Structure formats: structure tokens, C-alpha cells
Amino acid sequence: MNTTINEYNNNFISHIIDHDLKKQKKMFFHTRFPPEPNGYLHIGHAKSICLNFELAKIYQGKCNLRFDDTNPIKENIKYINAIKYDITWLGYQKYQNIHYASEYFEIFYQYAKKLIKKGLAYVDELTKEEIHKYRGTLKKPGINSPYRNRSIEENITLFKKMKNGEFAEGKASLRAKINMNSACIIMRDPVLYRIIFCQHHQTKKKWCIYPMYDFAHCISDAIEKITHSLCTLEFQDNKNLYNWILKNINTPHRPKQYEFSRLNLEYSILSKRKLKILVEKKIVSGWDDPRMPTLSGMRRRGYTPSSIKEFCKNIGITKQNNLIELSMLEYSIRNELNKTAIRTMAILDPIKIYLYNLNENHEEVLIIPKHPYNDKLGTQKIFFTKILYIERNDFQEKYNNQYKKLKIGCEIRLRYAYIIKAEKIKKDKNENIIYIICSCNLKTLGKKPIDKKNPSVIHWISVKYSFPAQFRLYEPLFNIKSLDKKEDFLLNLNSQSLVTKKGFIEKNIAKKIHKKIIQNNIKLFFQFERIGYFCTDIDTLQRNYLIFNRTVSLRDTWNEKNKKIINN
Ligand code: ATP
Ligand code: MG
């Protein structure tokens, strides 16, 4: 066993496992991750994936990936492929055995018959709405269905008829016969099977009756010899049914269910059903829109498997439901990219400066580091010429004393280059700035500005050596923190969640990036100095300019901005 203490081997679940393994020395530890293939995986699923697969690693066991494919109406093979891809991307391929609940449809059917034969299940002909009404509430006991006391023989015959397609959809269901007065509503004769006439992606047209999640899940766990079946807290009540079914069908193996709190993340929706609405209503460009909390969206945004795993580890495993700060997620990728991303300059909102005291053909090559603290990343070449682009908001025509960037009559330092002084502004007849006329002090390469009061450094790009780029800046999709229980979440959309900017990056660097993207279809990561961490976007392949997604800002600006809004 792994001896280093971390979040995965020092939480309430690992303590239960340690205890179980002490008691049963021969136990082969086995978990599973059971997604329903009705959408793409999101960061909440990643919490569960990491927990299940990391525990399998620590306890030298296994974790199955099991598709809970019991509702063909909502499922699709494209979701199955996307889920497999995401889990492999996270790096858990090695620990995964792939199963489908649909592999066990025949076994489920036999176990259902076993329950009928024990007088513990019956075919009901109430409608879905009637079943719901008869179930009662927490304050009101349920009412027995008029079909509850059918004989075992009659139930066997009717269940066969259900299986043979002799009932129309919705006209019959199989229910467990437990207790309509149970304090636990789930135990009030839950439905075990329903009729669905729909082709299944795995079993095709073989079945028209499909088991409910609660029936299929516990039996699948038992068949696969899962030892610890880990799920989120909302399944706490379902545990009664889980244990009731396994006890009454008497499986040789008895898995145990344990619950932990689900991930809720600020400004985010973590529900496949709701995320699907965003896709269908075209509020986002797809499941992989970089604003989506899906693993495919986060991958496109620039999150790496290691940053997601680090986040999942840091949030910990407990039974307390809480709302995790978005800044914690952002920290995980910022911290990583700070060490690994190549630094370079980009201009998102350009304005020109004209260095009047340089020759028309002035051209200088500057060799600059790709990372100030990581020499191993090497150096890069940039060109310094007479006309440069700087960021529009790095110059102000009218300013107050606090303004520390470029202003008329003041000096500023150009990153990796010279000190310049703004002298005049050249405007067109509409009063738009064409360029800022500056002088350049060629004796100042690598020196500090003379004006100690204004030590600012700004970034720049040679106009002659610029290459067009689009920068996609993201903010959260929603403008309220807690969306967990909100059904009207579409009322809280953040209109600024995507802002695109047209700007430039250095031509030689751009060419290299372009070549790498086209030849190897890889994603490249950058810190654009003073702006943020960015990665290349797949859309670049179809354009003659580069497209970058802002993964995360340099600092926690979203939180700072919101604090300001709240304080004002
Ligand atoms: P969704 O509402 O997103 O569809 P779900 O629970 O219905 O979620 P499943 O595909 O059934 O989705 O989930 C597979 C596993 O992932 C389950 O064990 C579930 O408990 C876990 N899971 C889902 N959402 C979260 C979350 N937010 N935090 C932690 N685990 C989660
Ligand atoms: Mg589910």
C-alpha cells in the first residue's frame, strides 16, 4: 500500500476501507464509476472518477467503468465514446475495465422473476401519475395499488407479457412489494421495471422492458464483485432499497454503499440535464464550449489532466455539502501554467507608437527567455522596429497622477527593450489616434527608467513582425454563485461570458505555433505577459489567423471584480 498520506488515503472512506481490509484480509478492493451515457462528463464527475480510481490505485485493486445504460431514450453512443475519451485523458485508462449494465439484462430479468416468486414483486397497471399520487408524502402514508395482491402465477404471466411486448408503453410496470407506509418514501413499492419501445445502442431490439436505476445498479455491483460502491449523498435513502434488493435476491457477493458530498462549484451548473439545455438552446457552442464545466470544455479552455486531478484532490472527500470557490479551480491551473507555460507578448487591443528618432529601417533582434525562471525552456527571437503596437489601455491622453503607464511627457520601459518617452499624439480628422509619437533612448537596453516615480513596464510587438490573432476571453457563464437547486438558471446568464478581441502576436512565434498545430494537432500554452494564460484553440485550423482561449487570468481578477461589485 502507498504510504504517503494524501487526501485519498486519509479521509472517512479510506478509514472504512482500512477497517474492512483489516477484518477481511483476502478482500480484493474493487470500486466502479457508473455514468449514465446521457451527456458529457463534468468536473463533478471528475471528483467521483478521481476518488474511485485513486482508491483502486492505493489499495491495489480495480475500478470498473460501468455505463448505467438502462434508459435508451436518453442515451447515445456518442456520449459513451466521449466518456471513455475523458477518462483516458484523465489518465485512468490502465485501471479501467469497461462494462455495461445492459450486459446483465438477462440476469436482472431472472432476479426480477425470483422476487415475484418470493411474493416480493408484482405487476402494476396503475399509470405513472397514479403511482406517484398513491405514493403519499412524508406526512401522508401511501395507498396500496389495487393490483398489489395478484397471485404469484398471475404476476409471472403478466411480467412475461410485459417482456414480450404485449403491453403498450406505460400500461404496466413491475413493482417491489415492500411497504406503502414506510417512512422512507423510496421503499413504498418502488418501480423495478418499465416498458420502453426504443432501440437500445447495445442490445438493439432485444428488450422492451428496462430495469430502473435502483434495481440495475446494486445487482451490477454484486455481479462485478464491487466491494465499496461510492456515490453522492442524494443516494442515501436509496441505500435501503439497494440492501433490500440484494438481501432478497440473495446474491453471493454483497457490496456496500457509502456516500460522500457532491461537488458544487460557484457560478457553475453541474448537471448533465441542465448543461444539455445550454447546448440545445445554443447558449454555448457545444458540450466542449470553453465556458462549460464539462471535461471536454475545460480541456479546450486549457485545463490539463494534472490540474483537474490536483483540484479534485484539494477539495477533499467529506460528507458536508458545500460550495467550492471558483478561485480554487482556477488556482490549480494557474499554479501549473505559471511553471510550464512559455511566456511571450501579445497585443489584444492595439494602438501604434512611432519611435521618431529611429531610422526608417531600424531592425533589431532581441533574444529573450521563454520563461524567466526556467532556463530549460530556452530562448526566443523577437524584432524591435520603428513602429510598434502597444495595448490601448497602456496609454492615456487625459490622466491623473495615479496613472503609471504611458502618458505625454513621461517615460516608460518596453519589456525586454528600451525606455521610451511619449512626446505627441497624431490623430486623424475624426480625432482618432493614428499613433503616439515617442522618442526611444537606445542607451537603455536592460536599464531601469530614469523617472523613479514611474517604474512601469509595458508589452509591445513590432508592427512589421506582427501576425493577426483572435483572443477569446472568458468569464463564468452565470452571474450568481449558487445555482445548485435553481431550475430557472437561464435567467442568470452572464452577458460577458465570452468577449473576443482582435490583436496580434509576434510573426515568427506565430508561424511556429501554426506549424505545430497543423502538423501535430497539439495544443500549446502561453503566458501572454501581463494579460493571462492562454492556449491555442482548435478553430485555428480553419482560419488564417491564430485563435487563443484565455484559460485563466494572471491573478484572481474575477473574484476581485465581484468583490468590488458587492462592496459598491
Ligand atoms: P448529472 O446530474 O450530471 O447527470 P448524475 O449523478 O445523474 O449527474 P451519473 O452519470 O449518474 O450522473 O453520475 C455518475 C457518477 O458521478 C455517480 O456516481 C454520481 O454520484 C457522480 N457524480 C455526479 N455528479 C457529481 C458531482 N457534482 N460531484 C461528485 N460526484 C458526482
Ligand atoms: Mg444519474
Q: Which amino acid is at 233?
A: L
Strands (E) across 325-362 are located at 342-344, 346-347, 350-355
Q: Which residue has the cell 404485449?
A: 166
Which pLDDT score is estimated for 335?
96
Beta bridge partners, 498, equal 474
Ligand 1, residues 45, 274, 278: which to mutate, most atoms within 8 A of Cβ? 45
- The residues of the chain that CATH labels 3.40.50.620 are 12-103+215-330
Residue nearest to atom 13 of ligand 1 (CA): 35
- For residue 60, the CA-to-ligand 1 centroid distance in Å is 25
Phi, psi at 78, each rounded to 5°: -65, -30
Give the ligand 1 atom nearest the CA of 263: 28
Ligand 1 neighbourhood includes 263 CB (under 6 angstroms): yes
Q: Check if the beta carbon of residue 524 is closer than 8 Å to that of residue 513.
A: yes
Is 239 labeled as catalytic in the residue annotation? no
pLDDT for res 568: 39
Whole-structure pTM value = 0.94
CB of 49 closer than 6 A to ligand 1? no
Which residues make up the CATH 2.40.240.10 domain(s) of the chain? 351-462, 466-567
Beta strands in 446-507 (DSSP E): 457-458, 460-462, 466-474, 498-506
Counting beta carbons within 10 angstroms of the beta carbon of residue 332, is it exposed (0 to 12), middle (13 to 18) or buried (19 or more)?
buried
Predicted local confidence at residue 565, as pLDDT: 47
Is the CB of 449 inside a 6 Å radius of any atom of ligand 1?
A: no
Instruction: Tell me if 497 CB under 6 Å of ligand 1.
Output: no
Pick the CATH number of 12-103+215-330 from 3.40.190.10, 3.40.50.1370, 3.40.50.620, 3.30.450.20: 3.40.50.620
Cα atoms in the Cβ-side hemisphere of radius 13 Å centred on 214 = 23
* pLDDT at position 446: 74
Res 486: pLDDT: 80
Q: Which of 272, 326, 283 is nearest to 490 (CA)?
A: 283
- Helix 77-90 and helix 43-58, axial crossing angle in degrees, nearest 10: 50
- In this prediction, the residues of the chain whose per-residue pLDDT falls under 50 are 2, 565-568
User: 262 catalytic, yes or no?
Assistant: yes
* Residue 208: other Cβ atoms inside 10 A: 18
Neighbours of 502 (CB within 10 A): 12
Q: Which ligand is nearest to the CA of 33?
A: 1
C-alpha dihedral over 274, 279, 284, 289, to 10 degrees?
90
Start-to-end Cα distance in the chain: 53
User: What sign does the CA torsion over 27, 318, 316, 291 have?
Assistant: positive
C-beta 47 within 6 A of ligand 1: yes
Annotated active-site residue in 262, 274, 392, 501? 262
Q: Which of 3.20.80.10, 3.40.50.300, 3.90.800.10, 2.60.40.10 is the CATH number of 106-213?
A: 3.90.800.10
* Helix and strand numbers, DSSP H then E, in the chain: 14, 27
Query: Among 79, 119, 567, 43, which residue's Cα sits nearest to residue 292?
Result: 43
Catalytic residue among 163, 272, 343, 472: 272
**CATH code of the domain occupying 351-462:** 2.40.240.10
Selection from 18, 47, 20 nearest residue 35 by Cα: 47
What is the amino acid identity at position 253? H
Determine the pLDDT at residue 567. Answer: 42
Does the CB atom of residue 37 touch ligand 1 within 6 A?
A: no
The CATH superfamily label for domain 466-567 reads Ribosomal Protein L25; Chain P (2.40.240.10)
- pLDDT of 404: 83
